[in-house]
Structure 1
Amino acid sequence: MRTGTVERIAGVLVGAEGLALVGIVVWQLAAIAAGDTGFIASAIALVVLTLVGAVAVIAFSVAIVRGRSWGRSGGIVTQLLILAVALGAATGAYAHPLIGLALAVPALVTFVLLVFAARAAGRAASAAAE
């Protein structure tokens, strides 16, 4: 299936989020190596979970670029999770509203692009069925 510009841009943005997660994994590994962890078992578990998330988000990115619906669905869920984290960063006892905003704006843009890509794919499927 041929993908449109919106879908390719959304795929690149989701891929950038996946690469950011890889960066977080590197940061976590550096913290473990420096001894900045309270419990090594928890730190390793967090690294593994973050790496699994990074692989999943990168897989969503590749699937979006290839026009697969499961990639768009996974990308939309990823954006909603990022928005939840942004809300948590912007509110609460240790709130950092600018960090919340820095997380929320790209997630909102990517979310909108993914919804447009899904609608375009739906129209294309309807046209092909006729």
Structure 2
Amino acid sequence: MRTHSAARVAAVLVGLEALAVFAIVAWQIAALAGGDTESATSAIALIVLTAAGGILLAAFAFAVWRGQSWGRSGGIVAQVLILAVALGAATGAYAHPTTGLALAIPAIVTFVALVLAARAARPDRDDSA
């Protein structure tokens, strides 16, 4: 299966998101080690869940690079979830619109790249029949 350049771009973007999530895991571990958490149990659970998200994003990036459709699907779902987090960050009692934009803009760009990769992966169809 031939992988198009749109898929390569999408894979790199999802891979960069995975690296960002792993950086958050490192920050969470540093906060836990420094005693900057109220509940060690909750902090450990959050670290595990964040690491799982990073691993999934890395798997999606690898699959998109290889041209596998499940990676594109998973990547699109991840972008929708990131957009939901961005909306939550931009609204509510403790709103930070700048943080919401910082999350939303890369998610939208990656979403578009994943959709373009999915369109490029479609086999050519003969619509005249």
Shorter-chain TM-score: what band?
over 0.9
What percentage of residue pairs aligned between the two structures are identical?
Answer: 64
Alpha-carbon distance in 2 for matches of 1:82, 1:63:
19
**3-state secondary structure, aligned to 2:123:** helix
Give deviations 1:30-76, integer Å, cap 9, x for gaps: 00000011111111111111111100100000000100000000000
Alignment match, 1:101? 101
Q: Would you tell me which structure has more helix in proportion to its own residues?
A: 1
Counterpart CA distance in 2 for 1:123 and 1:99 is 39
What code does the residue aligned with 1:53 have?
G
Matches within 5 A, 1:1-130: 1-124=1-124, 126=125
Q: Is the 8 A contact 2:22 2:51 kept in 1?
A: yes
Moved over 4 A (4+): none
TM superposition score normalised by structure 1: 0.93
The one of the two structures with greater contact order (alpha-carbon pairs below 8 A, sep at least 6) is 2
TM-score, normalising length: structure 2: 0.94
Which segments of 5 or more consecutive residues in structure 2 lack a partner in the other structure? none
1:121 deviation in Å?
1.1
Q: Distance in 2 between matches of 1:70 and 1:62?
A: 11
